[in-house]
């Protein structure tokens, strides 16, 4: 017993959480966890606007490792920055790393001029990958961590860290309800001392998934009956695959094509079937869809298609812009938005005004426009149920949401669960 005491003389167990970004906002998540011996960075995202916006500065040489919850750029887009000098290992599911390959290359291609890194750093990063299966433990000095399914997109994970006798859970982006694509996230059974949770929809409940699917499918069938064509602008990762799967599951009898980065992500999903809930049926569904290959093919693709699934989901660039040009001005057609539309994007403006800029001219869209609330994030009720289900008396840190969502969920934790809860600001540090 005496030995134990001596070992700890002069060093008090320390677990510190610092919030470097993604506080009071959706975008550029970054959380630094420090123990007595080690520093682990959880996510390092980017917010893509006119210029890329990164989280607060973290020195690469101070880090021992980086763990990434999922491939979306608001969680992974800044990671190559840590490969300018001293390469550090990064940890993620293999699906996440493969999808990062697609998204990061595209980002470097599109905004390379504004980025502090180039392909070379991205290459070095890829050489430092460590693929983790869910539940696989990593020991790094006095820190032990593992990943578990977060239900958000293919390969998405929560991070469970144990150090200094304390246990911390970081949810990343979380979905506890069922989707066609991935298994839903479950409340981990362990006791936690701290939980960092997202709050994208902390103040809103989603409509029942089955009902959304049914109305989406009915709307498509209606358009097809009247000889129209349907454009489904969708995020390349997750939503595109899910929409293809939904249409196939409902046996929509139509010629479906898919374009843009969604094709590469389809292939990653085929290669990593573990990341999909029902891989065989899923692969069969996406194999029945025609992929558009290059510009020559794209020009004629619509002649032999009834439905197009193409990114970007918010009609900000991507191959969906080409199909908008072709389909938007005919009243028989339809544009069905299936992703959240950030204010100011082409999709949000279309929903508000019914107009869209085609060939630099703002035009009135004749095609039917409708929004379907498919979401890959837990809604209000699910987030609360998740927190209620956590054992122990964890301190709760609410991030990744508009300010009122972060603040609202923290307040609910204090009032209803009697927990210490806060919506941290960028740069805030807390001792667990």
Where along the sequence are the contacts to Zn ion (CB under 5 A)?
A: 72, 74, 173
* Residue 424 beta carbon to Zn ion: minimum distance, rounded to whole angstroms: 16
* Residue 275 beta carbon to Zn ion: minimum distance, rounded to whole angstroms: 14
Closer residue to Zn ion (CB): 18 or 156? 156
Pick from 166, 226, 159: nearest CA to 188: 159
Closer residue to Zn ion (CB): 173 or 373? 173
* Residue 209 beta carbon to Zn ion: minimum distance, rounded to whole angstroms: 18
* Residue 385 beta carbon to Zn ion: minimum distance, rounded to whole angstroms: 20
Closer residue to Zn ion (CB): 243 or 257? 243
* Residue 155 beta carbon to Zn ion: minimum distance, rounded to whole angstroms: 11
Pick from 143, 148, 152: nearest CA to 132: 148
Buried b (16+ CB within 10 A) or exposed e, 312-346: bbbbbebbbbbbbebbbeeeebbbbbbbbbeeebb
Closer residue to Zn ion (CB): 35 or 376? 376
Q: What is the biggest distance separating any 2 CA atoms in the chain, rounded to whole angstroms?
A: 83
* Residue 99 beta carbon to Zn ion: minimum distance, rounded to whole angstroms: 11
Closer residue to Zn ion (CB): 34 or 74? 74
Closer residue to Zn ion (CB): 167 or 180? 180
* Residue 382 beta carbon to Zn ion: minimum distance, rounded to whole angstroms: 16
* Residue 237 beta carbon to Zn ion: minimum distance, rounded to whole angstroms: 8
Count the Cβ atoms, other than its own, within 10 Å of residue 171: 29
Closer residue to Zn ion (CB): 39 or 72? 72
Contact call for residues 223 and 334 (beta carbons, < 8 A): yes
* Residue 43 beta carbon to Zn ion: minimum distance, rounded to whole angstroms: 9
* Residue 339 beta carbon to Zn ion: minimum distance, rounded to whole angstroms: 11
Closer residue to Zn ion (CB): 74 or 373? 74
Q: Which residue is nearest to Zn ion (CB)?
A: 72
Listed in sequence order, the residues at least 6 apart from 422 whose beta carbon sits closer than 8 Å to its beta carbon are 395, 396, 397, 398, 410, 430
Closer residue to Zn ion (CB): 74 or 242? 74
Closer residue to Zn ion (CB): 164 or 379? 379
Contact call for residues 52 and 46 (beta carbons, < 8 A): yes
What is the phi/psi pair of residue 369, to 5°?
-120, 130
Residue 400, token pair as written in the block:
């990744």
Contact call for residues 80 and 128 (beta carbons, < 8 A): no
* Residue 310 beta carbon to Zn ion: minimum distance, rounded to whole angstroms: 20
Listed in sequence order, the residues at least 6 apart from 229 whose beta carbon sits closer than 8 Å to its beta carbon are 223, 302, 305, 306, 307, 308, 327, 332, 333, 334
Closer residue to Zn ion (CB): 47 or 333? 47
């Amino acid at each position: 017993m005496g030995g134990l005491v001596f070992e700890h003389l002069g060093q008090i167990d320390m677990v510190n959480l610092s919030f470097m970004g993604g506080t009071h906002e959706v975008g550029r998540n970054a959380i630094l966890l420090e123990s007595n011996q080690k520093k682990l960075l959880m996510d390092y995202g980017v917010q893509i606007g006119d210029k890329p916006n990164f989280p607060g500065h973290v020195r690469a040489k101070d880090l021992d490792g980086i763990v990434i919850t999922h491939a979306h750029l608001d969680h992974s887009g800044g990671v190559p920055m840590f490969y300018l000098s001293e390469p550090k290992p990064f940890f993620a599911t293999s699906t996440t790393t493969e999808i990062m390959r697609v998204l990061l290359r595209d980002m470097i291609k599109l905004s390379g001029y504004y980025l502090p890194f180039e392909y070379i750093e991205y290459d070095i990063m890829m050489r430092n990958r460590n693929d983790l299966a869910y539940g696989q433990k990593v020991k790094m000095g006095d820190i032990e961590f593992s990943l578990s399914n977060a239900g958000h997109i293919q390969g998405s994970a929560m991070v469970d860290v144990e150090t200094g006798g304390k246990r911390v859970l970081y949810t990343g982006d979380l979905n506890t309800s069922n989707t066609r694509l991935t298994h839903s996230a479950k409340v981990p059974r362990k006791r936690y001392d701290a939980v960092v949770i997202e709050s994208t929809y902390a103040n809103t409940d989603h409509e029942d998934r089955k009902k959304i699917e049914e109305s989406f499918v009915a709307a498509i069938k209606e358009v097809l009956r009247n000889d129209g064509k349907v454009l489904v602008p969708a995020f390349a990762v997750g939503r595109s695959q899910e929409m293809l799967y939904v249409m196939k599951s409902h046996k929509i009898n139509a010629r479906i094509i898919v374009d843009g980065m969604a094709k590469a992500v389809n292939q990653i999903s085929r290669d990593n079937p573990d990341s999909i809930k029902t891989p065989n049926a899923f692969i069969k569904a996406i194999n029945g869809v025609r992929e558009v290959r290059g510009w020559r093919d794209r020009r004629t693709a619509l002649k032999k298609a009834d439905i197009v699934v193409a990114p970007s989901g918010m009609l900000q660039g991507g191959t969906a812009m080409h199909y908008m040009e072709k389909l938007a001005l005919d009243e028989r057609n339809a544009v069905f938005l299936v992703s959240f539309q950030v204010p100011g994007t082409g999709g949000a403006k279309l929903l508000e005004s019914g107009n869209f800029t085609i060939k630099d001219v703002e035009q009135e869209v004749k095609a039917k426009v409708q929004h379907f609330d498919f979401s890959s994030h837990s809604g209000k009720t699910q987030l609360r149920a998740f927190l209620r289900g956590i054992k122990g008396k964890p301190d709760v840190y609410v991030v990744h949401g508009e300010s009122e969502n972060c603040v609202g969920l923290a307040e609910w934790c204090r009032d209803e669960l009697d927990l210490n809860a806060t919506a941290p600001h960028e740069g805030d540090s807390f001792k667990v």
